[in-house]
Amino acid sequence: MKIAVVGVTGMVGQLILKVLNERKFSVCNLIPVASEKSVNKLVTFKSKQYKIISIEDAIVLNPEIVIFSAGSSISLKYAPLFANKGIFVIDNSSAWRMDMDKKLIIPEINANLLRKEDKIIANPNCSTIQMLMVLAPLHKKYNIKRVVVSTYQSVSGTGVKAVKQLENEENNVSENKVYPHQIYKNCLPHCDDFTENDYTKEELKLVNETHKILDKSIRLTATAVRVPVEGGHSESVNVEFEKDFEIDDIKRLLEKTAGVVVQDDVSKNIYPMPIIAKDKDDVFVGRIRRDFSQEKSLNLWIVADNLRKGAATNAVQIAEFIKTNFL
């Protein structure tokens, strides 16, 4: 199978190659794609070196699947050019997520919606993916009415320049900053740009993508915070259900959910943390407890590696589904 990765030199692009290798995805010909400044440089995949080419050249080579991780503007311009040739496009940016004609897919939840004619498939936002991996089975059994989520998002979610800013500030080096304030020893209630209603785009993604993937009737409000952690997003999630529940039943249900790991033994200080989730594909959930201030309500703490299940792994899982069902 010929598979192209657009944005192959970036943090997520490099991780896509790693995940393809780890999951033994059948690739007979890798087509690495990046910006003009990277063309003709080499990338290594499965002990073999491949020369980076331009996106225009990649279109001519007719890969069966192309995974985009190069930003919305690139995807909006080039994804249709691949799709028009019958090539499956999996896009990591926000470009197509809320397009009514495009599917927004978390394979464990809604891969069954995909059809062979779906040529552009959107990967949800990293924060949405980890939250819904936990909420989807609970919604199916207890019917979620309302969600209040506060995120604690690592700097890797912004990109390599943000990781560099954190490292520079820790080492007292003054260079260009990605964030409007210091992130080292600080927290910024500011993920992505602010919109006219004073919510950030990141906060609205959690709302809109939950409605599209899970249920439009769920009332959801979010506060997204950037924290001085290099990798791994954490979320404090309060959920109100229509049906009542027992905590033990909630835990048993989540323990049976593919891709979810329950870490919840406070007597032994066991609960999810970004350092535990690092380099893992699972979503971790703990601090599972009843909210005594509101009937039929639950508190959860959800953690995942935002670059893996939140981006690269989810995209590769979509590619696996396409390969199995449509190619």
**Nearest by Cα to 226 from 154, 160, 161:** 154
**Nearest by Cα to 315 from 99, 153, 156, 89:** 89
Question: What digits encode the pLDDT tens for the residues 110-161?
Answer: 999 999 999 999 999 999 999 999 999 999 999 999 999 999 999 999 999 9
Question: What digits encode the pLDDT tens for the residues 171-223?
Answer: 999 888 999 999 999 999 999 999 999 999 999 999 999 999 999 999 999 99
pLDDT at residue 174, as a whole number: 87
pTM: 0.97
Buried b (16+ CB within 10 A) or exposed e, 152-169: bbbbbbbeeebbbbbebb
Question: What digits encode the pLDDT tens for the residues 234-283?
Answer: 999 999 999 999 999 999 999 999 999 999 999 999 999 999 999 999 99
**Nearest by Cα to 318 from 122, 48, 172:** 122
- Tokens encoding 17: 């190659």
Please say whether the structural domain 127-306 has been given the CATH code 3.30.360.10: yes
Which residues participate in catalysis according to the annotation? 126, 233
Question: What digits encode the pLDDT tens for the residues 10-39?
Answer: 999 999 999 999 999 999 999 999 999 999
Query: Domain boundaries in the chain?
Result: 2-124+311-326, 127-306
Question: What digits encode the pLDDT tens for the residues 96-110?
Answer: 999 999 999 999 999
- The CATH number for 2-124+311-326, chosen from 1.10.10.10, 3.30.70.20, 3.30.70.940, 3.40.50.720, is 3.40.50.720
Question: What digits encode the pLDDT tens for the residues 298-323?
Answer: 999 999 999 999 999 999 999 999 99
pLDDT at residue 175, as a whole number: 86
pLDDT at residue 283, as a whole number: 98
Per the CB < 8 A criterion, the answer to whether 69 and 16 are in contact is yes
Buried b (16+ CB within 10 A) or exposed e, 96-107: bbeeeebbbbbb
